[in-house]
A and B are shown apart, each in its own frame.
Chain A
Amino acid sequence: MKNKKISSNTILLFITIALFVVMYAAGCIVYSAKGFSHLQTFLNILINNAGLLCVACGMTCVMLTGGIDISVGSLIAMDCMLLSVGMERWHMNAIALCVLVLVIGIVFGLVQGFCIGYLEIQPFIVTMAGMFFGRGMTAVICTDQVSISSNKLFVALANMKIPLPFGAYTSRRGIVQVPYIRISVVIALVVLVVIFLMLRYTKFGRNLYAVGGNETSATMMGLNVKKTKLKAYVLSSFLCSIGGICYCLNTMSGSVQQAKGLEMNAISSAVIGGTLLTGGVGNVIGSFFGVLINGTISTLVKTNGKLLSSWSNIAVAALLCFFIVLQSIFAKIKNSKN
């Protein structure tokens, strides 16, 4: 009985955590001269990937139902563009704009969720159309690169440093450096905790697992599969909009090419974190580590300084491939046991 509890999914999660630790430790040893081992490096990974973390949480929920959402990257680009154009050109209130972005996210998710849940179109097709729609709409809003500088509230939020009470160190010049995080990290971590609790303790959370595990039996149990799917996509797009605001707080600009390939990072984070592509199995904690691995790879490539940035893309794709193969091998073993 106890043996059975350590299932292949737990093994996948352990592999992920071990991989992160090994990767980070290797980075600390190789790049210790460049300050990789400071706490702030780790916090910077969190700061840079706060948006991705929100998106990965939404992606995990969608993938639990057996679907996928590849529109997230373009939706973030659209959000950032709307925020920056809204503040710089239309001189709108930052809070009103944020609310508008969230509402757009919900509407976006409603349309996608309706097509997937009620019209039974393949999620990939719908969200791919969503991806091109989002990217195109970004260009419709504005084709220039717009950076935010005039909105005082937003700039203050973006520059706000939240110091941590521990981990202070003295730099080589003798200045005490207090490690800090930014507001986007706080938002992302709150999202992470809320989604974790939701998946574990609420009816909707359990429904997601049931729908992904076996759609037919979920229907027979009396679950409203269509509605659950619709809600999952609305949640994903909503979280993606929150992620978009976090992303915008980091980049402080909007451009058509922004967040290109982010869907890939979000999917690979979820997959690396042990979420099965077939649905029904997964956890946001795993996705959290997936995001950290993603961030570590890009930080390592950046710290090296000599490598082209496309290396981090290739490394993430290779990792995704590795974990997909691992998953399918586990699935084959499981099938042969049955």
Chain B
Amino acid sequence: MSKIKKITGQPLFLPIFCMLLVMAVNIFYDLGSGRFAFNFFTVSIRNGVLYGRLIDILNRGSEIAILAIGMTLVVSASAGTDISVGSVMSLTASLCCMLLAGYGVASTNTLAVPLIVGVLAGILLACVCGAFNGFLVAYLNVQPMVATLILFSAARAIGLLLCNNLIVYVRNDAFKFFGGYLGFIPTPIVIAAICIAVVSLVLKRTALGMYIQSVGINKDASRIAGLNSEKIIFLCYIVCGLMAGIAGIVASSRISSADSNNIGLNYELDAILAVALGGNSLGGGKFNLAGSIIGAYTIQAITTTLFALGVSSDQAPVYKAIIVIIIVAIQAPPFNAWVKRLSAKKALAKGGA
């Protein structure tokens, strides 16, 4: 009994357990449909690039993993989630593609401005969005989710305005690179790895990670202890915006267009789900970046599995919503208290007998 508790008490238990569960489902599915049992895990090289379902998950999950980094920091520092990330992704893609193609142009093969200008402008705009959210939350004390609700609805609309209600296609190999391949590895995997490495290095090497947790646990006490709580929360939102921007560029490059209505759709749910699945409390405070990232890839594994099982992309949110509720309910304090009472009763009954 105590051994089980030791394992379930590990911080990474929940995400890894879910990952194993998803893999098991995949193995059974492959067995059931008469394929090789470890079809899920086979990685091969086709046409000079890596190929396989695992690679696909790593590739497609990059955006969620990148978003999950920013979301983890925001959740930790402000005890609230940033629900504007999906819309900010779409806004970034719109601005980037609009600059690259020129205003009002629906499709282009040549770039109107250098690639780097478009990409940087998009990411900069995402940072500005993050700063806007951060300002409302940190300095005006607005509840995080309400503050980000403004951009949740406005960012997509602004993106549509920028693109003049068109889907802007940028059919250019240089732009396609971000969603394409670097040698034989898909570029999004590399970008996600770089983001993860940079952020975790900064958090490890500086005291920033500690500061963020401290602000999340008690904002006022941290301020009295000499931390600039507002500034730290503000910073977290800017990082979240930055990550949304990078994810937006990757997502847009993948389809080499800016589809304002569909880029980043429902990604906020995935990112929040990744954070919750990673064993982080949505009430703020301590965080575990590794957990969030494993969580993000687990989500993608779930999505891919759902698609493999024949669930349409419109219907997938149903299952994800149920998973969110179950995970969050398991973490809820009243539920834990109830479980404890139940086990205490059992122990009492055993002792009595």
A residues contacting B by CB (< 8 A) are 68, 70, 115, 118-122, 124-126, 128-133, 135-137, 139-140, 143, 256, 261, 264, 267, 277-278, 308, 310-311, 313-314, 316-318, 320-321, 324-325, 328-329, 331-332
Which listed residue, A125, A130, A137, A332, touches B81 by the CB 8 Å rule?
A125
For the complex, give the distance between the alpha carbons of A119 and B334 in Å.
6
- B221 interface residue (CB < 8 Å to A): no
Question: Contacts A119-B334, A137-B318, A308-B165 given: A317-B153 contact, CB under 8 Å?
Answer: yes
Contacts of A132 in B (CB 8 A): 266, 269, 317-318, 320-321
For the complex, give the distance between the alpha carbons of A267 and B268 in Å.
19
Residue contacts A-B, CB under 8 angstroms, 18 given: A70-B149, A119-B335, A120-B334, A125-B81, A128-B324, A129-B328, A131-B321, A132-B266, A135-B317, A136-B314, A136-B316, A143-B312, A264-B152, A310-B157, A310-B161, A317-B157, A328-B140, A328-B141
For the complex, give the distance between the alpha carbons of A109 and B164 in Å.
39
Given A122-B80, A131-B321, A132-B318, 19 more A-B residue pairs with CB atoms under 8 Å apart are A68-B146, A115-B328, A119-B329, A121-B329, A122-B282, A124-B145, A125-B81, A129-B321, A132-B321, A133-B318, A136-B314, A140-B318, A143-B314, A267-B146, A318-B154, A321-B150, A324-B140, A324-B146, A328-B140
Q: A308 touching B153 by the CB < 8 A rule?
A: no
For the complex, give the distance between the alpha carbons of A128 and B145 in Å.
10
For the complex, give the distance between the alpha carbons of A316 and B157 in Å.
11
CB distance from A301 to the nearest CB of B (A): 11
Question: Contacts A115-B329, A313-B153 given: A125-B282 contact, CB under 8 Å?
Answer: yes
Question: Contacts A121-B332, A133-B321, A308-B160 given: A139-B315 contact, CB under 8 Å?
Answer: yes
Q: B332 touching A324 by the CB < 8 A rule?
A: no
Interface size class of chain B, counting residues whose CB lies under 8 Å from the partner chain:
35 or more
Q: B317 touching A317 by the CB < 8 A rule?
A: no
Q: B335 touching A314 by the CB < 8 A rule?
A: no
Contacts of A122 in B (CB 8 A): 80, 282-283
CB distance from A89 to the nearest CB of B (A): 18
Contacts of B315 in A (CB 8 A): 136, 139-140
Q: A308 touching B161 by the CB < 8 A rule?
A: yes
Question: Contacts A136-B317, A137-B318 given: A311-B147 contact, CB under 8 Å?
Answer: no
Q: A125 touching B314 by the CB < 8 A rule?
A: no
Closest to A123 in B: B145
CB distance from A312 to the nearest CB of B (A): 8
CB distance from B321 to the nearest CB of A (A): 4
Q: Give 9 nearest A-B pairs by CB, closest first.
A: A139-B314, A136-B318, A317-B154, A310-B157, A132-B317, A313-B157, A136-B317, A133-B321, A129-B321
Contacts of A277 in B (CB 8 A): 142-143, 146
Q: A314 touching B154 by the CB < 8 A rule?
A: yes
Q: B321 touching A136 by the CB < 8 A rule?
A: yes
- B325 interface residue (CB < 8 Å to A): yes
Contacts of B81 in A (CB 8 A): 124-125
CB distance from B103 to the nearest CB of A (A): 14
For the complex, give the distance between the alpha carbons of A133 and B314 in Å.
10
Contacts of A70 in B (CB 8 A): 149
Which listed residue, A129, A278, A313, A329, touches B324 by the CB 8 Å rule?
A129
Q: B150 touching A317 by the CB < 8 A rule?
A: yes
Contacts of B276 in A (CB 8 A): 125
Mask, B17-28, CB within 8 Å of A = 1, is: 000000000000
Closest to A71 in B: B321
Which residues of B (290-335) have their CB < 8 Å from a CB of A?
A: 312, 314-322, 324-325, 328-329, 332-335
Contacts of B282 in A (CB 8 A): 122, 125
- B189 interface residue (CB < 8 Å to A): no
Which listed residue, B142, B314, B316, touches A324 by the CB 8 Å rule?
B142
Closest to A131 in B: B321
Q: B269 touching A128 by the CB < 8 A rule?
A: yes
For the complex, give the distance between the alpha carbons of A20 and B124 in Å.
36
CB distance from B29 to the nearest CB of A (A): 21
Q: A119 touching B332 by the CB < 8 A rule?
A: yes
Closest to A118 in B: B334
Please indicate which of the listed interface residues A136, A316, A331 has the most CB atoms of chain B within 10 Å of its own CB.
Answer: A136
For the complex, give the distance between the alpha carbons of A215 and B323 in Å.
29
- B74 interface residue (CB < 8 Å to A): no
For the complex, give the distance between the alpha carbons of A143 and B312 in Å.
10
Q: A261 touching B334 by the CB < 8 A rule?
A: no
For the complex, give the distance between the alpha carbons of A128 and B110 in Å.
41
- B168 interface residue (CB < 8 Å to A): no
CB distance from B70 to the nearest CB of A (A): 17
Closest to A127 in B: B145
Q: B334 touching A128 by the CB < 8 A rule?
A: no
CB distance from A107 to the nearest CB of B (A): 14
Contacts of A140 in B (CB 8 A): 315, 318
Q: A115 touching B147 by the CB < 8 A rule?
A: no
Contacts of A308 in B (CB 8 A): 160-161, 164-165
For the complex, give the distance between the alpha carbons of A118 and B152 in Å.
29
Closest to B145 in A: A124
- B125 interface residue (CB < 8 Å to A): no
